[in-house]
């Protein structure tokens, strides 16, 4: 026996259950989220849904069904005043059960309610059966405001369609839902439109507590609300009412995978086009600020922090070093969190983000073997898609992958690579002292020979060459940034013979310490 899942108020659900139980195995759901779990578990053939506020939950459910490739026959209904139930249903040409489902729905509820089927067609559609909603001219007039129109055209639209626009300044609010294929759109389109019409109604209720406005769909997945500004003498009162309205709007459009954007205030209808253009440019920033209920154009510049590539590169170098030589070090997760949430997030730069992901992908893929699921490759690099994710989600993905690699590393990474890192740390702390390979190996409780072997096999260099390179790099920093005398620099970097220091510096850098200092001073003057 096929399964029917019902989500409705208790009294209605009981009547539906009694009627449907003769033909289906009936399962009751407790919420929109529960509907998905129950429908998926039972591979339900039928889904009966009542509109509950906020109806954004039904939008999420329909999307989740599509993504899970579950396509039951759906009947979606809302309770209206005067005990009326308005409903939409999937078409019988793709769901053979649809006619039976509608018949059982009438038999269950027809005695106590007026049941009216809704159709959503253009105004050119002539249909004597049931009730249809068509707002083509009204919606096109509002779309024309976003495209840009003259004052004369606006006056005509306002009079013709009775637009509730007060001409005292406006805000634009956009709800931009994640892209999905809508594989069965021909069958489900009335249900999508029914959900959409209720969402517009809930948005209009939200803005009515401020100063009203209009709402319309730009296309199937983008809703626009034009909010009339409220001219009040008290800015505090105005701000409080505005924030209350935004909270209600956020609730009405609170889908899991949607961008919610509020424009800056525009003084008149001429500015609506500019606000629309700004939305098209700025909605991509949603990836970096998805923790905000609503992205506000006026706040983006304040939230953005200029970040230079060397800052990002510095954190990446630290992460790369740990991945290669000490993957189990707790500092790795801390550095990763810093990269994503303290450097890339406030930078709001896709170029810096993509650069970082490319470096991490290359390093992680090198570490992976056949036993590791390459989840990192699930990161979608398309700007059109990734904006519906968030930098926090992508951080969680990479962090989880590294955590698994850390768990699997065990002795494999604990041996050679961690010893190399510890040796490097020892040299970093003591390069100014007269240390030898024996000192370094002794600090690690290993032999000189073994220490040199692992440096040669892993880094293709010797311990002493690495130490000398480190000392010269530190000397370059001192020569460029201070007026220290050559013999002082030599002493501070572990060269206790100034002549030997100068020869080594010239051999490795290509300049004497004096020539290098003059070049650094010249660059400072040019930069100034």
Q: Using an 8 Å Cβ cutoff, are 92 and 98 in contact?
A: yes
d(CA 156, CA 152): 6
pLDDT value of residue 446:
80
pLDDT value of residue 97:
80
Residue 511: DSSP 8-state = S
Question: Exposure of 104 by Cβ count < 10 A (0-12 exposed, 13-18 middle, 19+ buried)?
Answer: buried
Q: Using an 8 Å Cβ cutoff, are 253 and 175 in contact?
A: yes
3 state DSSP class of 348: coil
**CATH level 2 (architecture), domain 3-132:** 3-Layer(aba) Sandwich (3.40)
Q: Using an 8 Å Cβ cutoff, are 43 and 86 in contact?
A: no
Question: Mean pLDDT, consecutive 10-residue segments, the chain of 528 residues?
Answer: 95 96 95 94 94 95 88 94 94 76 95 91 55 70 92 92 92 86 69 92 94 91 94 83 94 91 94 94 90 89 90 93 82 93 94 91 74 48 70 88 76 64 89 90 83 85 91 85 81 87 90 81 46
Which residue is it, tokens 């209350």?
244
d(CA 502, CA 509): 10
d(CA 484, CA 477): 11
pLDDT value of residue 180:
63
Cβ within 8 Å of residue 91, ≥6 positions away = 98, 186, 187
- The pairing of strands 170-177 and 258-262 is antiparallel
3 state DSSP class of 508: helix
Fold of 136-298: Alpha-Beta Plaits (3.30.70)
pLDDT value of residue 134:
56
Secondary-structure percent of the chain, ordered helix, strand, coil, rounded to 5? 60, 10, 30
CATH no. for 416-527: 1.10.10.60
DSSP secondary structure, 59-74, as one string: HHHHHHHHHTT---EE
């Amino acid at each position: 026996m096929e399964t029917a899942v019902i989500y409705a108020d208790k009294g209605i659900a009981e009547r539906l259950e009694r009627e449907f139980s003769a033909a289906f195995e009936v399962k009751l759901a407790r919420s929109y989220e529960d509907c998905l779990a129950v429908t998926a578990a039972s591979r339900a053939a039928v889904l009966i849904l009542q509109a509950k506020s906020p109806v954004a939950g039904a939008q999420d459910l329909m999307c989740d069904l599509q993504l899970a490739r579950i396509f039951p026959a759906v009947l979606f209904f809302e309770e209206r005043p005067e005990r009326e139930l308005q409903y939409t249903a999937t078409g019988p040409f793709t769901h053979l059960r649809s006619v039976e489902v509608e018949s059982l729905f009438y038999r269950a509820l027809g005695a106590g309610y007026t049941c009216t089927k809704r159709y959503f067609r253009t105004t050119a559609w002539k249909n004597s059966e049931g009730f249809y909603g068509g707002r083509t001219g009204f919606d096109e007039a509002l779309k024309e405001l976003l495209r840009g129109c003259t004052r004369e055209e606006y006056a005509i639209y306002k009079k013709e369609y009775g637009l509730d626009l007060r001409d005292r300044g406006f805000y634009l609010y956009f709800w931009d839902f994640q892209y999905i294929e809508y594989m069965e759109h021909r069958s489900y389109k009335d249900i999508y439109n029914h959900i959409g019409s209720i969402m517009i109604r809930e948005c209009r209720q939200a803005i009515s507590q401020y100063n009203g406005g209009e709402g319309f769909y730009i296309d199937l997945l983008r809703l626009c609300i034009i909010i009339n500004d409220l001219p009040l003498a008290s800015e505090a009162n105005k701000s409080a009412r505005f924030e209350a309205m935004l909270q209600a709007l956020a609730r009405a459009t609170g889908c899991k995978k949607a961008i919610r954007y509020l424009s800056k205030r525009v003084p008149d209808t001429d500015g609506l086009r500019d606000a629309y253009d700004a939305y098209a440019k700025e909605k991509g920033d949603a990836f970096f600020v998805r923790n905000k209920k609503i992205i506000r154009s006026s706040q983006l510049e304040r939230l953005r922090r200029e970040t230079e590539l060397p800052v990002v590169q510095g954190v990446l170098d630290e992460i790369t070093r740990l991945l290669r030589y000490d993957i189990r070090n707790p500092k790795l997760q801390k550095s990763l969190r810093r990269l994503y949430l303290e450097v890339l997030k406030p930078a709001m730069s896709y170029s810096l983000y993509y650069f970082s992901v490319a470096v991490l992908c290359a390093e992680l893929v090198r570490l992976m073997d056949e036993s590791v699921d390459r989840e990192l490759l699930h990161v979608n690099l398309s700007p059109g898609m990734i904006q519906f994710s968030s930098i926090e989600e992508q951080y969680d993905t990479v962090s989880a992958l590294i955590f698994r690699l850390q768990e699997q590393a065990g002795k494999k990474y604990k041996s050679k690579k961690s010893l190399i890192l510890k040796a490097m740390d020892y040299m970093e702390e003591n390069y100014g002292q007269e240390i030898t390979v024996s000192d370094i190996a002794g600090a690690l409780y290993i032999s000189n020979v073994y220490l040199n072997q692992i440096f040669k096999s892993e880094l293709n260099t010797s311990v002493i060459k690495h130490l000398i390179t480190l000392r010269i790099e530190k000397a370059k920093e001192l020569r460029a940034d201070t007026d220290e005398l050559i013999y002082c620099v030599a002493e501070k970097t572990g060269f206790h013979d100034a002549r030997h220091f100068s020869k080594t510096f010239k051999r490795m850098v290509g300049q004497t310490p004096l020539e290098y200092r003059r070049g650094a001073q010249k660059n400072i003057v040019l930069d100034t």
